Each structure stands twice: as C-alpha cells, then as structure tokens.
Amino acid sequence: MSEFRLIQISDTHLARRLTRLTDNFDRVREYIDAKRPDLVINTGDLAFDGPTSRDDLEFARELHASLPVACRYLPGNHDIGDNPTRVGPVPPHPASEADLERFLAVIGEDRWRFEAAGWCFIGLNTLIMNTGLASEAEQFDWLASELAKANGRPVALFLHKPLYLNAPDDPELAASAIRYVPMPARSRLIEMFARVDLRLVASGHVHQIRDFTYGHVRHVWAPSAGFIISDKRQELIGVKAVGLVEYRFQPDGFEIRFVRAPGQIDVDLDSLFSAKS
Ligand SMILES: [Fe+2]
Ligand SMILES: [Fe+2]
C-alpha cells in the first residue's frame, strides 16, 4: 500500500442521554462513509463518563461498531479515569486497573502498533502513566520492544493527551498539568522516541485544534467530535471548533487536513444539560 488514508476522531464523549453528541457522531459517520478511509482512530474520551457509567462505554462501542470502516481505540480520562500529577490536585477519579479492565472488556484495546505505507503507527494509553499500576510498567516494556522493530521507518504516535504545550521541557504547572502527559512519564517517552524517526504526535483531550512543529516532530491536536469548552472554563490555545482530522501517509511524508463534517455543530459543554438536550 503506497498511500494510507486515516481519519482521526477524538473526544466523542458519547452517552445515550446526550443526543446532540450522538447527532454530531452521526454526521462524522456520514462523512467517514463518504470518504472511506483505510482506518479510523479514536484518540480517547469515547464515552461521556465511563468510570461512573459503564453504559456510556457500551453506547460508544455500539456507535463505533456502526462505522463502515475499521476503527482503533485509545482510552481517555473520561473512559478509565485520570493521571496523578506531581504538581496538580489529585484527580477526582484516578485511573485504576479495574477501570482499564472494564475498558478492555467493552472496547477491546488500549494500545497498538501497526505498519502502513512504510510508516510505523503506535498508540499508547496515556492515562495509566504515573499511576504506578502494573499495567503502566507493562506498557513501557511493550513500547520498548515495539520501538526496537521500527527499523528506521518514520513513526506516528497517537495519544489521548498531548505531550506538552510548546516544548519538551515546559514546566509542569498546577493549573494545566492535567492537560498533558505528566512528568516524569513525559520525559521517559520523549527519551524513548528520540531513538526512532518520530515525525508525528497526534492527540486529543484539549478539545481545541492545533498544529505546530517542534524540531522534526509535528504535533496535531485533534478537535473533539462532540463539543467545545467555553473560554470561561478553559483558556484559548488553538481553535475551538468540533471536527475531525484527515491524514494521507506516503512513504516519504504525510498531509493533514482539519475538517468539520457537514452538519457537525459546535455544541458548548455548558449547554449539554440545558432543556434542549
Ligand atoms: Fe474530552
Ligand atoms: Fe480527555
């Protein structure tokens, strides 16, 4: 295969009761049906709140099963709980092995590696990082053995949380630590990926569109497919809009395009529980 077409969706936050988010997912599915990429990747927060409602995860699985092409998954903090950080407050629901097991039982995977169009694609579970859980150590061991097989191929990394705001050594701040892969796991990842030809880090979680390059690595922040978060709740960093990301990978490079599927609406988180929903 000389070209590999991928659509990244993220932060679908599905729940049976939140019909406007289902409407946005339906518009995304129609777009995917029209474009028929080789693969769809959801980079996490599939469910509105999996840790407190298994049915949200079940509903997300049902809707993703209706996509007309193959889909791969990564968990988000709203699927399995969140990371502890060194500087921020303790998350309301820290990730646990039980949460991860539930995600694996319902969705089927939390990390993966595959090759296409001369590229090596790796997806990691960022929410177990810094937890000290056995699954965290197991994932790092697995990653080391998978990176050893890259054999000089360009590498595309998919995560729920972005690695950092602007640079690898950005200070970890109490107010924003929860937004990025926490230290020291972030440093460990950067060190491991420095030994391969990393070209792309694609993430979700922030619900803002962003595209920047640091060194040789392009960082793509995917929009949420479901809703935006107002400035009074979250600072503006990139662009606040719903949508998806289309990629075309070829052995010598890749192209990306941010797209709003026809009919996809910028639902505001604060309006989700109003009378209209
Ligand atoms: Fe999210
Ligand atoms: Fe998230």
Please write the tens of the pLDDT for every residue from 81-118: 999 999 989 999 999 999 999 999 999 999 999 999 99
Q: What is the mean pLDDT of the chain?
A: 96
Whose atoms come closest to the Cα of 160: which ligand? 2
**pLDDT beyond 50 at 61:** yes
**Helix, coil or strand: residue 141:** helix
Average pLDDT over residues 42-64: 97
Q: Which tokens hold the place of 127?
A: 């929410």
Q: Name the pLDDT band for 277 (thresholds 50, 70, 90).
A: very low
Q: 235 alpha carbon to ligand 2 midpoint, in Å?
A: 15
**pLDDT beyond 60 at 275:** no
The continuous run of DSSP H or E covering 250 comes out as strand 244-250
Q: Which tokens hold the place of 248?
A: 């075309």
- What pLDDT shows up at residue 1? 63
**How big is the CA angle at 163 (ends 85 and 148), to the nearest 5 degrees?**
110
Distance CA(150)–CA(125), nearest Å, equals: 19
Angle between helices 134-147 and 185-193 (to 10 degrees): 10
Q: 160 alpha carbon to ligand 2 midpoint, in Å?
A: 7
Q: Name the pLDDT band for 273 (thresholds 50, 70, 90).
A: confident
**pLDDT beyond 80 at 274:** no
Residue carrying the six token digits 């309006």: 271
Q: 251 alpha carbon to ligand 2 midpoint, in Å?
A: 31
Q: 151 alpha carbon to ligand 2 midpoint, in Å?
A: 32
Q: Which tokens hold the place of 62?
A: 């049902």
Over residues 183-216, the pLDDT tens digits come to: 999 999 999 999 999 999 999 999 999 999 999 9
**pLDDT beyond 50 at 154:** yes
Q: 227 alpha carbon to ligand 1 midpoint, in Å?
A: 9
